[in-house]
Structure 1
Amino acid sequence: MTGLLGRWVRAGLPLGRGWAGRGRRLLLLGAGLLMCFWGLNRLFPLPPPKSFSTTILAADSSLLCAYLTPDEKWRMRSSPQRINPDMVKAIIEKEDKWFYYHPGINPVALMRALLNNTLTGRRTSGASTISMQLARMREPAPRTYLNKVREMFRALQYEWTYSKEEILELYLSYLPYGGNVEGVYAASYLFFDRPPDKLSLSQAILLSVIPNRPNSLRLDRQGEAARAARDKWIERFRQAGTFDEQELEAALLEPVPTQRHQIELKTPQFCYALKKSHGNRSEIVSSLRPAIQQKSQKLLAHHVQRFSRLGVSNGAVLVIDNRLSQVVAYCGSADFYDMAAQGQVDGVQGLRSPGSALKPLVYALAFERGLITPQMKLLDVPTTYYGFQPENYDLVFHGQVSVHFALSHSLNVPPVRLTKEMGLDVFLDALERSGFDHIKQQRKGLGLSAVLGGCGVTLMELTHFYSALARGGRLYPLYTTLPAPQAQPTTLFSEEAAFLVLDILSDIERPDIPQAYLEASSLPKVAWKTGTSYGHRDAWCVGMTPRYTVGVWMGNFDGHGVPEMSGTQMAVPLMLDIVNAIDRQSGKQWFAPPPGLQQRRVCSESGLPPSPHCTHTQPDWYIAHASPLRTCDLHQPLYVSADTSLQYCPACLPDTGYQRLYFPNYEPELALWFELNQVGVRQPPPHNPLCEARFSGQGPNILSPSADFEYLLERRRGQELLLQAASDPSIHQHHWYVNGQYLGAVAPGEKLFYSPRSSKLNIVCMDDKGRKSKTDIKVVFF
């Protein structure tokens, strides 16, 4: 023994007499009982709580989905705060008026019940408190005096372990309602198809009565008996003045349901994903907002039905709140129960080719690195990289276009050339930093075609990336549950680069905007980018406003393509409808230009700061301390004859009879494209044929053959190689040599064919100024 009692016993001290002695005896008795209880509590601990159904709630606490427990029960955690107060009041008034005042056992009720039962010789009244009933529900046993003592002990344990609110929550969660239904929360949805905080007084009283006889009062089987029991307690509550008498009169007239409802799966794919990632939690509060979810799902179903005649059977939508980085709508398919369209597939998580949807990342990286500004010119001419020949969607090349035009019209060659200039690894590294986790698994097999969709991404990854554009180039963790913790973002690129991309993508002078939406005055200002995968299998569109990012995918889950499938025709209308439905109040609000972004005048032909010889200029954005500052050098001075028929160099310049004029000096590939497509541009005259000077500098650009290939030729058929090169406009003749043998002279861009005789070829092309380029190739004969 320890403490005061132990010292008294060891010393043989008397416990005293009179009131003081009785007090000490009571104190020692209490201490002994407490120690005894403590020991029994350690020896016979409370059983663990029952497992609860996993319930997934929306952001407003409404039920999205629920799953059966491992023992096949609908048993949902029933917090008193989420239940109609009338229900809690009815339960306490009916079962345990002194619940908040006793320690788990009500001595007065026990004595009264013992006396009544002894006098009548049968059980006429009970004394079980809510805590004792909880013990009996957790460990059912025949009603004997011994088991009653055990219930009392367990009740004390519950009171020792839990607060009154926690005990009440467990009690409300375990109440039996017949069959596999337990708890007020589950009963409210299964019998009344409504959350427990929306119960009427009649329904609240009904649910407080059924647990006394759950099988004989089961609503879906014994509705009339349940109604009679409800009416009996309505009368008792009226006599006791527990509720307003008029409300009780109305409750008597309310019909009693006799059918059991199904718990609707409102967002099946989303809920399954949450359950899979948070399976150890009985309640998951998601970030989904029912109003936005319902609008998005309805519009998705409408658009899929609209395009079903063209062979499109499904789609998916994801909406992100940019300010909070939370998923507020998640539509995995148009109809989860459409088995023919494989509606149970989750289109938000499906790995698909994004088509052109990754191009904004290329431009953002190039803006930040100072390689381009919106009005700078890029080449859009036939180009080959290691066998990869990008072509535009309409198979038309434009020669030279502005960055703004290239992105807003989703041209393919310019972003591929930019990626080649920056380095493929720069682009792939940026994809990984941008949250495209599947890129890590695919990286070894990716090339420049990844820019145009030659990789796999999910709608979740793609929409998450675009939300970073809307947040100034900062990628925040994406949250699907609440509360969402504060987290530091990953900076993908500068705020200025993000704004420039958004500014271009918000341009309405583009080919992928439906005319009907141009005329819709209520449509908020929105930036968007489309994507169409190879084979017309996937149609994408992601739209951004300051408040939301909306990602849309349309297609077929079995992967078959449709000729009419394109982001422009099928995904853009749905995205715009969703934006208009959920963000109309934002109007024309837009992102403010960052302080590091400024405007300047640039040459209209090159997009660079103008030189004195640039005749036309236009405004352009540029990033201070990043964008190129070099002056336009497109127009180069040349010495020409008085009649402009000949060009002179310093070595052959005559003493008189010449003039100094400026001519555009286009890149060789562009000059060749102009010539082949008969584009009228100002060309310099040919160089003086009598000049014998040699020039330094870059030689012709050999377009074919390429050292990147190994050529397979059939010897018997005498197959030939194509020789072709491009030069700037001042060059008028190319001289070709193979393994030191002169083949002949042709104009720049003109084709020359050669039949090789050896497997290793050294090919040299020299222009009329003596500048050379060479390449070594390998030929395999068969």
Structure 2
Amino acid sequence: MLIAGIGYYYMLPKELFNDPFATVVNDFRGELLSARIADDGQWRFPEVEALPEKYEVALLMFEDQHFYRHPGVNPLAIGRALWQNLTASETVSGGSTISMQVIRLSRKGKSRSVKEKLVEMALATRLELRYSKSSILKLYASHAPFGGNTVGLNAAAWRYFQRPPKNLSWAEAALLAILPNQPSLLFPGKRNEKLLDKRNRLLQRLYNAGAMDEISFELAKAEPLPDGPARLPQKADHFLSYLAQSGAKGKVTNSSVDGFLQDRVNSVLNAHHALLKTDGIHNAAVLVLDVKSNQVMAYAGNVPESGSEHAGAVDVIQAPRSTGSLLKPLLYASLLDEGLILPKTLIPDVPTFYTDFAPKNFTRKYDGVVHADMAISRSLNVPAVNMLKMYGYPKFHQKLRDLGMTTLNNPPGFYGLSMILGGSEGTLWDMANIYAGMSRTLNNHSSRRFTTDYQGYAFASFESKDFEANREVPSLNASSVWFAFKAMLEVYRPAEDASWKLYSSARKVAWKTGTSFGYRDGWAIGVTPEYVVGVWVGNADGEGRPGLTGIKAAAPLMFDVFDLLPETTWFKPPKSELVTAIVDRETGFLSSPYSAKVDTVEIPKVGLRTTTSPYHQRVHLDKTERFRVNAGCYPLKDIVTKNWLVLPPKEAEYYKKKNPMYLDLPPLMPGCEDTSLSLMVMDMIYPQENAALYIPIAQDGVRSELVFEATHRESDIELFWHLDDVYIGSTLSKHEISLKPSPGDHIITIIDPEGNQFKRKFRVLSKESEE
């Protein structure tokens, strides 16, 4: 007896079913978004968590009315089945309880012999000792066959009726109760009268038992049978793939995605794709985040209609792509955050050359100097590089990693200053998360430094993902974010691209676009206190297309998605982090005694540590104000003293072209020495100090020329050029000269008529030294 008891105890396997499950993602209402078939080719959803009442009542009425009263085997049902089979001379009834059917399903393909029936009976009683009655019902509903490759109640409800089991009608519940008994009866294209008759007989029994009233009974009988299994919804395939790769394969993810919004985003995406593909642009992605709940609202990783021929399966939201200008507001906020600049600080905007890097503005035009916030609003490249040089690219590299940019896998020197112009890659997921984190920082600002979890916070909430929560990382102050978003709100674009105005929305949106080198990627990210919408447009294979810019290709899509969202508000200024200060109106620095005009404005508190304006100086003029003088050469009583904006020569050269009110510093009066000012009167635009230059050789074997360019405070002055102390010529007004210096080290010297000299060292590389 002891041995028999031990054998009985261990006869039931620990795990009844080890079948693979489909991967399923639902929206926040519980509606199916997308599903992927199980590895064995079956539409088998993960096991049900609860059975709907209608289905359970119908199932027990059809299969096992005494389920809650028997120990796994019903002797009366077995006896009745034996009698029916003997009188009919064939097997017409099995007498199996639901518990026995669970055992048969778990044993897969065993013969239906008397011996196997006895084994099932023994295992069924053991099953009842291990599992509760409700658990046994759920095992049956999860693994019963429903025709074709549809397994389990969840999959059947969606494939036959396009709704979750909890929403089944009486007719639908009755059909699914009888279908596992003869799943072949439901076949597309057949009239299925036999199945309809069986369903209606079960409905009659349910009505007779008082499970439904007469009206419900008549309506249920009138419902037609489904034509067959339908395709499951595939509204968020790329989101499903992302979840599967993140640990949710074979599980049900109850996500935060809004199914209605996802549908509409897909429609907008397809509409824009219809236009973009005419220009050879075949891929696009949209990500919508809810800032306050830190969750994903819509996730469209690619154009639903792009197809396999254009890499439509690629999830571009997770694909590293060149960021273009998306990092510029982050750099601007970082500089503000550390008190290195103020919002209106002047930043140089002149042609700049480095050894292997020569940034250019998109329009190839330069302002000389530009206010920092306007550099962001206008997305100017050269000022951005100058700001990164000021901040330090190693420090900015670390700042981006702290904020949640996961794609910076190389050391800072690998990217260098080009990092700010798209020299580094980022994902739409990371970039949207970072901007949403900034929005949340501004929403929750306080008098202390605010820390938050930028990285991983916008993940859809689902049980299978164990991501880093409540991770404390250095953030940006709310005041810095406030000014960054203000700059993004006041977006300006070149006159020749005036169509950008058509993309603005009635609501306030802080937005930034980006375009990568070679027109391979177009970005647009918009931010409000409630939402972040991130858009990428391009070709997944990296092919560039003329006109593929963030402003033309991505921004219209972004604003159309914003139009799908509820009404939004705008951020409140973080008053506790702001302070009133007197600022030089022209330069944006803190005012100095030499400031000509000042404004009283709010700045970040940390901005009080910035310097006063270095560009304003006090000058002494003669009574006509045409010459600079001093007490040694001019009567003291006649000297006129003024505060003067004095830009460096290179910046002044470009600034005065766009600012006719800018006045050059008057020249010294003949006979006067400059004792009041130490000014740089000229500068070299190209090349930079100690530049290494290579002179290419044309196809005909002739060496090309290098063009040297200089600037002087007096625009109409003549300059005299020397190469290695050898006079080579002069220039007037436009100071450019072409030379063919030999390989090696050189010094170019420029002298003006007043004897002022400027020297610049450079090196010319030979082809061999370059290699």
Change (3 A) 1:220 1:646: same
Q: What are the residue-to-residue correspondences of 1:127-146 with 2, within 5 Å?
A: 127-139=95-107, 140-146=109-115
| Contact kept in structure 1, 2:171 and 2:221, CA below 8 Å | yes
Q: 1:509 to 1:457 in 2, by over 3 A?
A: closer
Q: Secondary structure at the match of 1:447?
A: helix
Contact 1:313 1:341 survives alignment (8 Å): yes
Output aligned runs, 1:123-522, within 5 Å: 127-139=95-107, 140-216=109-185, 221=190, 223-278=192-247, 280-336=249-305, 338-339=307-308, 341-441=310-410, 445-472=414-441, 474=452, 475-477=454-456, 478-483=458-463, 486-507=469-490, 514-516=500-502
TM-score by length of 2: 0.86
Distance in structure 2 (CA, Å) of the matches to 1:755 and 1:537: 36
Deviation track 1:278-313 (CA, whole Å, cap 9, x = no partner) reads: 255332333322022112111111122244444433
The residue number in structure 2 matching 1:556 is 539
| Counterpart selection for 2:72 from 100, 104, 108 | 104
Q: Which amino acid aligns with 1:662?
A: N
Matched to 2:654, the amino acid is W
Give the match for residue 542 of structure 1: 525
After superposition, the Cα gap between the structure-2 partners of 1:535 and 1:280, relative to the gap in structure 1 and judged at 3 Å, is closer
Task: Provide structure 2 residue ranges, at least 5 long, that are not aligned to the other structure.
Answer: 443-451
The letter of the residue matching 1:760 is D
Residue in structure 2 matched with residue 609 of structure 1 by the alignment: 590
Assess, with a 3 A threshold, how the Cα gap between structure 1 residues 663 and 212 changes in structure 2: closer, same or farther.
closer
Secondary structure, counterpart of 1:490 in structure 2 = coil
Conserved? CA contact 1:695–1:770, under 8 Å: no
Pairwise CA distance, 1:355: 2.1
Q: Does 154-163 or 712-721 show the bigger shift?
A: 712-721
* Paired residues of 2:615 and 2:645 also in contact (CA < 8 A): yes
| Preserved contact between residue 733 and residue 745 of structure 1 (Cα < 8 Å) | yes
Alpha-carbon offset, residue 323 of structure 1: 1.8
Instruction: Output the CA distance in 1 between the equivalents of 2:277 and 2:89.
Output: 75
Query: C-alpha displacement at 1:534, in angstroms?
Result: 2.7
Q: 1:70 to 1:612 in 2, by over 3 A?
A: closer
Partner residue, 1:571: 554
Aligned residues: 744
Name whichever of 551-560 and 212-221 sits farther off.
Answer: 212-221
Q: Report the Cα offset of residue 596 of structure 1.
A: 0.8
SS of the residue 2:618 aligns to: strand
Question: Aligned with 1:636: secondary structure?
Answer: strand
| Aligned 8 A contact 2:397 2:412 in 1 | yes
For residue 224 of structure 2, give the secondary structure of its aligned residue in structure 1.
coil
AA at the equivalent of 1:761: H
Largest Rg, 1 or 2? 1
Asked if 1 retains the 8 angstrom alpha-carbon contact of 2:521 and 2:538, the reply is yes
Q: Identify the residue that residue 704 of structure 1 maps to in structure 2.
A: 686
SS of the aligned residue for 2:691 comes to coil
CA-CA distance at 1:43 after TM superposition:
5.5
1:624 aligned onto 2:605:
yes
Q: Give the CA deviation at 1:167.
A: 1.7
Q: Any gaps of 5 or more consecutive residues in structure 1?
A: 1-31
How high is the sequence identity, in percent, across the aligned residues?
A: 30
Q: Which residue of 1 aligns with 2:663?
A: 682
Shift of 1:513: 7.3
Once the two structures are superposed, residues 214-258 of structure 1 have per-residue CA deviations (whole angstroms, 9 ceiling, x without a partner) of 234557657211111112222222333333233122211221223
Residue aligned with 2:581, SS: strand
Q: Using the alignment, how far apart are the partners of 1:41 and 1:626 within structure 2?
A: 76
Give the distance between the partners of 2:763 and 2:532, measured in 1 at CA: 51
| CA gap 1:767/1:593 in 2 versus in 1, 3 angstroms | farther
Q: Does 1:661 align with 2:637?
A: no
- Return the offset for 1:551: 0.7
* Distance of 2:115 and 2:566 partners within structure 1: 65
Distance 1:694 1:264 in 2: 81
Once the 2 structures are TM-superposed, how far is the Cα of residue 448 of structure 1 from its aligned partner? 2.0
User: Residues 348, 755 of structure 1: CA spacing in aligned structure 2 closer, same or farther, 3 A cutoff?
Assistant: closer
Counterpart code for 1:704: Y
CA contact (8 A) 1:674 1:680 kept: no
The Cα shift of 1:319 comes to 0.8
Superposed, which structure 2 residues align to 1:19-34 within 5 Å? Answer: none
Tell me how far apart the structure 2 counterparts of residues 432 and 661 of structure 1 sit (CA, whole Å). 48
In structure 2, relative to structure 1, the CA distance for the partners of 1:375 and 1:59 (3 Å cut) is same
SS at match of 1:433: helix
Query: How far does the alpha carbon of each residue in 1:609-656 deviate from its partner, in whole angstroms, 9 at most, with x for none?
Result: 334554543454311134544333533222333333432356656666
- Matched AA of 1:778: R
Kindly state the Cα deviation for residue 724 of structure 1 after the two structures are TM-superposed.
4.6
TM-score (norm 1): 0.85
Kindly state the Cα deviation for residue 676 of structure 1 after the two structures are TM-superposed: 6.7
Instruction: State the secondary structure of the residue aligned to 1:243.
Output: coil
Report the CA distance between 1:498 and its aligned residue.
Answer: 1.2
Give the structure 1 partner of residue 763 of structure 2.
778
SS at 2:326 equivalent? helix
Aligned equivalent of 2:574: 593
User: Which residue of structure 1 lines up, in the alignment, with residue 449 of structure 2?
Assistant: none
| 1:95 maps onto 2:76 in alignment | no
Which one is further off, 95-104 or 364-373?
95-104
Read off the aligned partner of 2:539 and give its amino acid letter: N
Greater shift after overlay, 304-313 or 106-115? Answer: 106-115
Equivalent pair of 2:748/2:760 in contact (CA under 8 Å): yes
Which is worse superposed, 688-697 or 280-289? 688-697
Between 721-730 and 390-399, the greater mean CA deviation after superposition: 721-730
Q: Secondary structure at the match of 2:229?
A: coil
SS in 2 for 1:385: coil
CA deviation map 1:364-407 (0-9, x unaligned)? 11111212222222222222222433222222222232222211
1:528 match: 511
> What is residue 746 of structure 2 aligned with on the other side?
761
Which moves more between the two structures, 414-423 or 140-149?
140-149
Residue 162 to residue 701, structure 1, CA distance change in 2 (3 Å):
farther
* Aligned residue type for 1:705: P
SS in 2 for 1:272: helix
Task: Check the 8 A contact 1:95/1:130 in 2, yes or no.
Answer: yes
How far apart in 2 are the matches of 1:752 and 1:429?
A: 42
Whole-Å separation in 1 of the counterparts to 2:246 and 2:603: 44
SS in 1 for 2:38: coil
SS of residue in 1 equivalent to 2:514: strand
- Secondary structure, counterpart of 2:576 in structure 1: coil
1-structure distance, mates of 2:630, 2:29: 79
Per-residue deviation, residues 676-696 of structure 1 (Å, max 9, x unmatched): 779452223222454578999
Question: Within 2, Cα distance between the matches of 1:738 and 1:175?
Answer: 90
Deviations 1:549-573 (A, max 9, x none): 1011223334444433322223222
Q: Distance in 1 between matches of 2:731 and 2:517?
A: 38
Q: 1:436 is matched by which residue type in structure 2?
A: M
Measured in 1, the distance between the counterparts of 2:697 and 2:232 equals 70
* Rounded Cα–Cα distance in structure 2 between residues aligned with 1:612 and 1:695: 16
CA distance in 1, matches of 2:97, 2:15: 19
